[in-house]
Amino acid sequence: MLRQLISDTKTHETNHMPEQLEFIAGVIEGFYGEPWTQAERLELFERMTHWGLNTYFYGPKDDLKHRAIWRDLYTASETETLSQIITACNQRNLRFIYGLGPGLDIRYSEEADFAFLNRRFEQMLALGCRNFAVLFDDIPDRMNPNDAQRFSSFASAQCHLTNALLQATRARCADVRFFFCPTPYCGRMAEAGLGGVGYLSILGKELHPDIEIFWTGQEIISQEITVSSIQTLQGYLRRKPLLWDNLHANDYDVRRFFCGPYSGRPIELREHVSGLMLNANNEFPLNFVPFHTLAAFVKCVGPWDPRAAYLDAIQEWLPSFEMIHGSVTSDELILLGDCYYLPLQEGPQAELLYNNARILMGSRTLDWENAAAEFQRQSTQLKAFCVRLTELRHRRLFYALSRRIWELREELDFLERYLAFRMTHDAPHPEFNSEFHHWGTYRGGIVPRLQRLLARQPNGAFQPTEPALRA
C-alpha cells in the first residue's frame, strides 16, 4: 500500500498554489513540559471564542504518545480525554488540530510504520478529528540505510510519507486538512543546511500543495518576522507558510515567563501567511496577555500598537488577581508584567529599573543619587507586591508565579541592601557582604556555578571569566 501511495504522490510535484482557506488564528499546546489540564483547556476555549480566535492545536511534546511512543494507540481513558477536547472545540466552532511527531525513529520506507501512522489517524478520525499535523521538528536529520536507498533526500522521504498519509486519510474522510512541520523550521536552521541541501525547495516541489507548512521565522524564537523574509520563503515553499510563533514560549528557560504583547510582526504580515499560531508559556494562567494581544493583532484595523494592546490586556487580566485582603492595581500589574515581558525585550518600567540599578554600580554622582531614589521607589513597590501575591485567591496563578517572583524579590532585596551600604561608603567599588544572602545558599548550585564560567560580552559573545586552569 505504501509503495502505491508513494507512486501516486509524484503527481503533486507542481507549482499549484493551495486553495485559500479561512485565516488560521489560535493557540498551540506544543511545548516541552507538563501539558495543560482539561479544565484549563476548557477555559482557553471560552476565551478564544470570546476574543475571536479560531484554532487550537493539540501537540504537547510530553504527551508520550505524541512523540516518544507514537506507534501505540490511545487507551480508552485517553481517547475519552481527546474526545472531550474535540467535542468542546466543535461546540464552539473552533478548529481542532491533532499533532503527531514520529520523526525520532520513523522508518520512512517501512510498511509497518506507515500502518502505525494510519491506525493512529484512523483512531483520531473516529473521535471527530478532521485536522492533522505531521511534525518532523527537533529530530536528527538523517535516515537509516534502507531509507537512504529508497529516497533521494531526507526531505523527499518526509514528503512522500506525508503525502501518502494524506491520501490514505482522505480516502476515509474527504474534508481532512493536513499540516506539516519541517526539520529546519526557521531561517537559521535552513541556512545551516539542517535536513540536507535544498530541503525547503524539495518540500515546495514535492509536498502536496494542500498541506500547510509551519515556520517560526528567522529564529526558533524570533524577535521580529519581516514581510520580506516570508516572501522569500514562499518562493521555496510555493505556498504561504503558517506561523508557529514561539514568541511567548518559555519551556527553554523555566526561570522566566513572558506576558508581554504580541509584537515584532508588522500588521501587513497577515497578508503573506496562512495564519498565526502562538506556542505559549507552559503555565496556562500566565498566557492571558499573549493570547489577548494575539487576538487583537489578528483583528486590528490600522496601525498596530503593541504597548497599547498590552495595557488593554492588563486591564482585562486584573480581575484574575483577586486577593484575600485588599486589591491589586493596574500599575502594580503593569510593573510586574514589564519584568517578564518578552524574551529579548524588557517592558519600559523594568528597563528603567535595570538602568537605575546599573547606575548604582558606578561612582557617586548627581545621576547616582537620582537613580538611587527612583530605584528604591520601584523596588519597594515591586517587593511589596511580590509578597502580597501570596494572598491570591487564584492559587494556580500564584503557583505559576511564585518561584519567579520570589527570585525577583530576593534580587531586589540584595540590591537594596547594597544601596544602603553604598550610602555610607564613598569608595568606587567597595566589597559588600550581606548577612541575609550567604554564599552557596544564595545564587548557589551547579547551574549558577556553570553559568559563571563564561561571561557574556556586550557584542553577545562569551568569554571565560577566569584564565584556563591546568588539568
The pLDDT tens digits for 309-347 are 999 999 999 999 999 999 999 999 999 999 999 999 999
Q: Among all residues, which ones are annotated catalytic?
A: 138
For residue 103, pLDDT over 60 is answered with yes
Question: Are 24 and 55 spatial neighbours (Cβ–Cβ below 8 Å)?
Answer: yes
* Selection from 206, 314, 297 nearest residue 259 by Cα: 314
Residue 114 has pLDDT above 80, yes or no: yes
Enumerate helices (H) and strands (E) in the chain, giving the number of each.
16, 10
Burial group, residue 155, by CB count within 10 angstroms (0-12, 13-18, 19+) = buried
pLDDT grade, residue 5 (50/70/90)?
Answer: very low
Average pLDDT of the residues in 288-307 = 97
Per-residue confidence (pLDDT) for residue 468, from 0 to 100: 57
**Is a pLDDT exceeding 70 seen at residue 455?**
yes
Q: Are 290 and 262 in contact (CB under 8 A)?
A: yes
Q: Please, are residues 243 and 211 in contact by the beta-carbon 8 Å criterion?
A: no
Question: What average pLDDT does range 70-76 have in this prediction?
Answer: 96
- Cell numbers for 421, please give them: 551600604
SS3 breakdown of the chain: % helix, strand, coil, rounded to 5? 50, 10, 40
> In whole angstroms, how large is the CA radius of gyration of the chain?
25
- Least confident segment among 81-95, 149-163, 379-393, 419-433: 419-433
In Å, the largest CA–CA distance within the chain is 83
pTM for the structure as a whole: 0.92
Q: What pLDDT, on the 0 to 100 scale, is given for residue 63?
A: 87
Predicted local confidence at residue 9, as pLDDT: 45
Asked if pLDDT for residue 31 goes beyond 50, the answer is yes
Going by their DSSP bridges, the two strands 131-135 and 55-58 should be labelled as unpaired
The answer to which of 13-22, 192-201, 290-299 has the lowest mean pLDDT is 13-22
Does the pLDDT of residue 7 top 60, yes or no? no
Q: What is the pLDDT of residues 389-398, one digit of tens each?
A: 999 999 999 9
Tell whether the model's pLDDT for residue 147 goes beyond 70: yes
Q: End-to-end alpha-carbon separation of the chain, Å? A: 59
Q: What per-residue confidence (pLDDT) applies to 10? A: 47
- pLDDT for the residue 16: 45
Q: What is the pLDDT of residue 6?
A: 44
Q: Which residue has the cell 527570585?
A: 407
List of domains in the chain = 2-303 (3.20.20.80), 330-426 (1.20.58.240)
- 124 closest CA partner among 88, 174, 90, 73: 73
User: CA of 294: how far to CAs of 47, 93, 263, in Å?
Assistant: 12, 19, 9
Q: By percentage, how much of the chain surpasses pLDDT 90?
A: 79
- Apex 106 CA angle, 100 and 110, nearest 5: 120
Percent of the chain with pLDDT over 70: 94
Q: Are 72 and 42 in contact (CB under 8 A)?
A: no
The interaxial angle of helices 76-91 and 38-51, nearest 10 deg, is: 20
